[in-house]
Amino acid sequence: MEERKEMNLTKIIIASENKSKAEELRKISKRFFPNIEVLTPSEIKIKVNYPEEGLSYEENAITKAKVAANACGLPAVSDDSGIEVEALGGAPGALSARYGATDSERNSRLLSDLSQITESQKRKARYWCSAAIAFPNEEVITASGEWCGRIIFEPKGKNGFGFDPIFFDEELGKTAAELSEEEKSIRSHRGKALNALFEDVSRLSRS
């Protein structure tokens, strides 16, 4: 247990080369471990070959975290998220990343799929995120978070990524792409999942 605590207080790998995800993870992790260094595999000159995605968020997150932890010899964090639209029976769900080649294509396809749904309250949706941290000894801790809202009719906002420009937060009256970093870190599914994950890791490292 003591070895795990020390490793988490020094270095951790993010099982992704996505710069936005890496920066968000750095900010959240430092709330719990101020001296932590968050690195991508490429920053320590390691190439990680991730397997094809599975059929659930948690499966995807755990698999990627384990692969990165074993390849890098350090604890690794991964998350998998998607958007679930009520009118589409929960689609695209865990297959959100395969909904198109780019964020723009994915947004366009989702808007097209909802083109016959003209009432705002029938376009309810939620973001879901499963996060996992895997240790080189194969131990895994998981957490999850959700963000409820609806899909609007055209993109708004320049921030964020993924479906953020068309995902509307009813309480804030803004799309996810219109939120500041601070607002999003509190409201978002990823923020909730990662905060819960690091809270668990912090608690266990002290036990």
Catalytic residue IDs: 80
C-alpha closest to that of 200 among 158, 145, 126, 122? 145
Q: How far apart are CA 110 and CA 42, in angstroms?
A: 33
CA distance 185 to 29: 12
Please name which of 30, 133, 27 lies closest in space to residue 75, comparing C-alpha atoms: 133
Gap between the Cα atoms of 77 and 8, Å rounded: 11
- The answer to whether the beta carbons of residues 10 and 75 sit under 8 Å apart is no
Q: What are phi and psi of 154, to 5 degrees?
A: -155, 155
The conformation of residue 53, written as its DSSP 8-state character, comes to P
- The tokens for 90 are 């929960």
Q: Which amino acid is at 125?
A: A
Rounded Cα gap, residues 192 and 198, in angstroms = 10
